[in-house]
Homo-oligomer: A and B are copies of this chain.
């Protein structure tokens, strides 16, 4: 099974918290939470929120920071990206 990825974008923080809880509750061993630009803070709120909600049943694996180019040709600009590897330490399974 390839690595599962959760891209944190413009939806409310709670939507991603629920989505990550569901992925982990279905038994995903690892989920990479990725966010671009101004959504980086939200991604960290989501992973820390899930860590508290699950009573520390997650841990952090590799956390990567890099940049990606966005925009039309000749008008690209660099935008930072964060990837947070969330490791499932036994989040309660749900159907």
Interface residues of A (CB under 8 A from B): 37-41, 44-45, 47-48, 51-52, 60, 63-67, 78, 80, 82, 84
Contacts and interface: CB of A to CB of B under 8 A. Distances in A.
A37 B41 contact: yes
B40 A65 contact: no
B82 A44 contact: yes
Nearest to A67: B48
Contacts of A37: 41, 45
A23 B66 CA distance: 21
Contact of A80 (B44, B63, B66, B80): B44
A65 B78 contact: no
A44 B65 contact: yes
